[in-house]
Amino acid sequence: MFEAHLRRGLSAVAVAVMAVLASCATPEPEPAPPPPPPPPPAVSLNEGVAQAAAIYVTFMRDVGSIQAGFTSAESIQAAIRKGAAYEPNQLSRGMIAYGSILALQSPEFVQGVRTYAPDPAVRQEVIARIVADPAYAATLPGADAAAGLIIETIGRDSAAMLVIADAVEEDAYTIQGRGDPRRRWATTPVADRS
């Protein structure tokens, strides 16, 4: 009987020791939080976009230097050559490219587009939708702010061109006037019209 009590006592001690040891055990560490998503790709500009925009900017600079008050038929020809040196399709593509660069200057638009950037599949889907329908870009977050910036900037460019065109047109009418001394050379055929 003593042995039975001893066994029970030892069993109780063993259970108590196991309970003490179990309470001393360190709990399993909680799993580490998932890593943060990778940063979105850097904002980059396709070289073709930059080149197309450069054509528009160069045109605006070149044609922006035309001033009324032509002093000779040659100066008129030089002004015409400045404007004619650019193809309309190049200018159209250039203005669109320039607009896309202006959109990148809008923090609201860049931030809105970046919401699609972390997931490569979503990013590719947005790209595909823009390629299929460029008007889709106007539905992206922040597009209103970007559009405002584009309209303001290209509107200023257009207004500057209109001022130049009006001044040149007015000068053309003035040259035709009987009292304008430039009329003498303005009515003679231009040599080498190329």
Q: How far apart are CA 127 and CA 2, in angstroms?
A: 85
Task: For 30-52, give one letter per residue: b (16+ CB within 10 A) or e.
Answer: eeeeeeeeeeeeeeeeeeebeeb
Q: Alpha-carbon torsion 155, 97, 106, 119, what sign?
A: positive
Side-chain-facing half-sphere of 134: CA atoms under 13 Å: 4
The pLDDT assigned to 10 comes to 62
Q: How far is CA 180 from the centre of its chain?
A: 49
pLDDT in tens, the chain (194 residues): 556 655 666 666 665 556 555 566 566 778 888 887 777 777 788 899 999 999 999 999 999 999 989 998 889 889 989 989 999 999 999 999 999 999 999 999 999 999 998 888 999 999 999 999 999 999 999 999 999 999 999 999 999 999 999 999 999 899 888 888 988 887 777 676 66
Query: In sequence order, what are the residues at sequence separation of 6 or more whose Cβ sits closer than 8 angstroms to the Cβ of residue 45?
Result: 101, 104
SS3 of residue 178 by DSSP = coil
Predicted structure pTM score: 0.72
